[in-house]
Chains A and B, each alone.
Chain A
């Protein structure tokens, strides 16, 4: 087994185990911090897929933005001095059965289907290609994305400020 295969298994293991912690942990703070392992593991998987720019974006936005936001929300909505920071779950057994059946079906489908294969696998820096695509083929969605982000920003500010009651 080569070094890269071993690293791939390690990254896949970290990703799946942290995701399991997110799903099964009793403490919401442990769940939030396990999300860090999942996001970093997914970034490593992107590197294995030759998507260096997407990996960098994943680290910047998910780890640097969304995770910090989630941690802030956890800290703001729980009294941190409480020992019992519960993370209640309901209907675990039916959920587990449903999800187990779904996982079995998905893996079975993945194994059976003859997926299309590219002629050759390329491992090249993808940033320039992505920039070209954003400014030619995907120009309209790119501009719409800025509008969506502006609307989300204003919406978040409006929702989270305190209402002045008269």
Chain B
């Protein structure tokens, strides 16, 4: 583990991915699930930038990371709009309450 070693960044990414996956798997609250997805996307971004820095040496990985950040922003906006619509309909954001998708 050192700042000049690829594997230390990959291990940080792996830990973040596992924590995000745990959040997505166990939470019943839709907003918490979205937070887990953001953790997973961040871990993927760390891997992209780390490989771009250590393995290829050009900026392509950084471009992919920026695209991922942009799509995460779009996804969060639409996802939270859906969560708010579900809350207006069911008065809860428990993901099991919304399994019928209608009243």
Select which of A62, A110, A133, A156 is within 8 A of B77 by beta carbon. A156
Q: Does B100 contact A (CB under 8 A)?
A: no
Determine if B49 and A77 form an interchain contact, defined as CB atoms under 8 angstroms apart: no
Q: Is the interface of A mostly helix, strand, loop or mixed?
A: helix
Select which of A4, A5, A62, A92 is within 8 A of B69 by beta carbon. A62
A23 and B36 in contact, given A95-B26, A155-B78, A159-B82 (Cβ under 8 angstroms): yes
Number of A-B contacts (CB under 8 A): 220
Determine if B53 and A121 form an interchain contact, defined as CB atoms under 8 angstroms apart: yes
Q: Is the interface of B mostly helix, strand, loop or mixed?
A: helix
Minimum distance in angstroms from A165 CB to a CB of chain B: 12
Q: Does A80 contact B (CB under 8 A)?
A: no
Determine if B66 and A130 form an interchain contact, defined as CB atoms under 8 angstroms apart: yes
Determine if A51 and B70 form an interchain contact, defined as CB atoms under 8 angstroms apart: no
Determine if B66 and A70 form an interchain contact, defined as CB atoms under 8 angstroms apart: no
- The residue on A at minimum CB distance from B87 is A77
Could you mark each residue 58-89 of chain A with 1 if its beta carbon is under 8 Å from any beta carbon of chain B, else 0?
10011001100110111011000000000111
Determine if A95 and B80 form an interchain contact, defined as CB atoms under 8 angstroms apart: no
Q: Which residues of A contact B29 (CB under 8 A)?
A: 28, 87-88
- In this complex, the interface size class of chain A, counting residues with CB under 8 Å from chain B, is 35 or more
Minimum distance in angstroms from B14 CB to a CB of chain A: 4
Determine if B16 and A38 form an interchain contact, defined as CB atoms under 8 angstroms apart: yes
A133 and B84 in contact, given A19-B15, A65-B73, A102-B21 (Cβ under 8 angstroms): no
Determine if A110 and B11 form an interchain contact, defined as CB atoms under 8 angstroms apart: yes
**Using a CB-CB cutoff of 8 Å, which residues 30-72 of chain B contact chain A?**
31-32, 34-36, 38-39, 42, 45-46, 49-50, 52-60, 62-63, 65-67, 69-72
Determine if A35 and B14 form an interchain contact, defined as CB atoms under 8 angstroms apart: no
Determine if A90 and B84 form an interchain contact, defined as CB atoms under 8 angstroms apart: no
Q: Which residues of B contact A9 (CB under 8 A)?
A: 1
A110 and B16 in contact, given A121-B53, A149-B70 (Cβ under 8 angstroms): no
4 nearest CB pairs, A to B? A118-B57, A152-B74, A159-B81, A8-B3
Q: Can you list 19 contacts pairing A with B, beta carbon distance less than 8 Å? A: A8-B2, A12-B12, A23-B19, A23-B22, A23-B39, A45-B12, A54-B69, A65-B76, A66-B38, A70-B35, A77-B31, A77-B84, A103-B15, A110-B10, A117-B55, A118-B53, A129-B58, A149-B73, A153-B77
